[in-house]
Structure 1
Amino acid sequence: MQPVLADVYAAAQVIRGLADGTPLVPSPYMSVQAGADFLLKLENMQPIGAFKLRGALNAVAGVGEAAGVTCCSTGNHGRGVAYAARARGMRAVICMSELVPQAKVDGIRALGAEVRIIGQSQDDAQAEVERLVRDEGLTEISPFDDPLVIAGQATIGLEMLAARPDLDTLLVPLSGGGLAAGVAMAAKAIKPGIRVIGITMDRGAAMHQSIKAGKPVEVEEYPSLADSLGGGIGMHNRLSFPMCRDLLDDIVLVSEEEIYRAMQVLYYEDRIVAEGACVVGLAAVLTGKVKLTGPTATIVTGRNLDMDMFTRVMTGQDIRLGDKVINGVKYDT
């Protein structure tokens, strides 16, 4: 069953004191550029450095006596599950593809979880999750297609509207859709007229392609500065696909060059270290792909990034992403 607003309030009680209450702060630079109040929800301040802790805590709390938990992850969900499982003394096995940056793999292992690197795509890693569930009795915690995960992520929407009831638009990074589905559901239940736009990279955008096709589809995955937005949505997606299809007002795609520039803006103008996935909302506004009609907020989803790559972006160096090269440009302050 799709989660509803009551489930979000219940999730808020479960995570209270553990993964709630991150700041919602104005970005003076972006407010000038956008011509409207532009706010940043700082989920990079969570204990694991990412919003995924909310859904993981809520979902792991719902697991009874079990051999352990497992999940497929591009990094931050795995870190959240590892953190939540360790707190409950449970085994956690996190399955990831070879595209996941080593920094994220190391961060999960540091939390005591077992990491398995499987294949070149999240679909390959998901196959190992299904084997662990079948053969070893682990409970799967989906990064996006789980009602407890979606309800946990939706608490971000509650907090944003509690802090700024006048918000007109929410710009939400979009991958498998757990965050976008949850935030859109909660926000529209509280304020039906609010606009919620999913933002993602223009290569390997699984949810965007699936909504265009009218059903979940597989997409080729590419290395990206917004690596947290990679991966498929699952061919048997039950929740996040229909919720994103029905609740998002639009989906906007941004290029790697636009993400590169927005990462520089967030760092040099707001002094925030964040992953490429965090800045897609800024990129959409800076390029004019989204026009603001009133106070707007986006979610700075996490800070668990490859610092060598981050340093290269901040110093205007060229970046190679697989077969694609982004020509570096120094930021003019």
Structure 2
Amino acid sequence: MSKIALVGLGLVGRAWAISFARAGHDVALWDDKPDAADEALRFADEVLPDLAANQLLRDSPAAVRARMRRAATLEEALDGASHVQESTPEEVGVKRHVFARLDALAPTGAVLASSTSAILPSRFTESLPGRARCLVVHPINPPYLIPAVEIVPAPWTDAAVVERTTSFIRSAGHAPIVMKKEIDGFVMNRLQGALIEEAFRLVAEGYASVEDVDIGIRDGLALRWSFIGPFETIDLNAPGGVRDYAKRYQQAYEGIFAASQWRADWSGPVMDTIEAERRRRLPADRLAARQAWRDRRLMALTAHKARAAKEIGD
């Protein structure tokens, strides 16, 4: 197994540490905040036993934890690394500064990947001498529970780097989404954004409550979407497959599309309605506990999907 350098240890960086160490890699942890590595390791100590209890580790928690090591300096973290995963704040200026340092200090054969969820790789890698080895590798957090990872090349990213990164991410237990070129929002946030926009519109116009919209996804569409995607869903929802579905329902969706060409202002009056409904159902002081509940439910769902894949098939 290879050495992975993690640069930036916030919510995403510390989650990557668990994912890569679980896959058998040695993981070097570095952040410019002195306490960040210790916090990341404490987080791993809390999470790893739960993962083991759900049979989501190949090795013991102690063995996985032993692969995570603090690095005293950025140079130490990068020394001998084959893959560098940057997870610093979502600011273009920060990314440009960090990637300039990574390109100067990392081994020439190392891939330089960013976890950014919103910044195009071309915006912070264009001027780098080693820009051909730079790309985005964006997870849905936490990556140790949600397999999908977006691989987004800049216009100048070497195709061999994309292929190598795809193989690496897949070998680490992830499901890579390999984009052909960059676009704002990548794949996952564009899909999620379309859904959230419609959710806001339905509430803003008084068609449904916040909870009713959540039910529609949680107890409706998401049950299928948890194991098949939208194209497979419609392929299976008409006797003749996807083309048959389009013939049957395109006209209905054309009407829906025409009525959805406006944005609800997320900071406007509709937010008062949404926030009030959410805080009635979940007081602000229970958010952290509910987040922990969500992650435990994700562990259970991930474990179930793994068992079902073995027993029923993918």
Q: Same fold (TM over 0.5)?
A: no
What is the TM-score when the length of structure 1 is the normalising length?
0.26
Identify which of structures 1 and 2 has the higher relative contact order when contacts are C-alpha pairs closer than 8 Å and 6+ apart. 1
State the structure with more CA Rg: 2
